[in-house]
Amino acid sequence: MTLIELEALASEKLSINNEESRTSFLRLLNTGLLVNVIDNLLGNEKELNEVASRSYYHNNGFLKVVLIEKRPKYSVRFHIWPEELFQAPDVHNHPWDMTGLVLNGSYEWPIYSLDQISEGSESFDLFECRYLEDYSGHSFHDLDKVTLNQIDKLSFQQGDIFQLSQTQYHSVRKENSQPAESIVITGDSVGLSANVITNRKIMCSSISKNSSVESSFLQDKLSSFLERRLS
């Protein structure tokens, strides 16, 4: 299946974009359809270049391969996590609900609540992350100082389907050195901004554009994924 054919199928299956339709589409992809799409993508230089042009390393340290970009309606993204012990630097939420499927490996999401700072508590900076209308970049804007409280931890492994509400604050932690990949479908966007909580130094108000990856680099990453899926 070509990427154009996948887009047509996604538009049909996600015409009503809710948890049920996203889960159903992920299960369909996991029957071998995704492997077929990736295999065809590797043999199609034009489509590979298009996907590479909108794919980039996220601030939270993973490679985001944007297979289909139809936001604010939906997007289909392939996430590739580092093959090492990993902790995302920022806690964040999203302007959309999302549903995902773990294709390889395992990792976990610490889930947090935010509180006002109190005497003796560790404080973090709360920023608003504003996306450009075409999602090709973003800017940060200082909001407040807050305290983080971990209230849950969700663990995922190969084959798991997960749901995340746009209101939930989470991070990502991987306590192993194994490859990990997931496919994620975003829900309808409720706006063009999310919140980020961090102690790292952030430049506010300036626009940061996504830096696209080279198609040869993407080809290597996707080829490694196929080798693991087909072995």
- Residue-wise pLDDT for 8-65, tens only, equals 999 999 999 999 999 999 999 999 999 999 999 999 999 999 999 999 999 999 999 9
- Using one digit for the tens of pLDDT, what is the confidence trace for 180-204? 999 999 999 999 999 999 999 999 9
Instruction: Classify 41 as helix, strand or coil.
Output: helix
The Cα 75–Cα 231 span in angstroms is 29
Longest dimension (CA), the chain: 59
Assign 3-class secondary structure to 82-115. Answer: CCCCEECCCEECCCCCEEEEEEECEEEEEEEEEE
CB atoms within 10 A of CB 51: 23
Tokens of 219: 């080809």
The predicted structure's pLDDT at residue 66: 97
The Cα 172–Cα 156 span in angstroms is 11
| Full-model pTM | 0.95
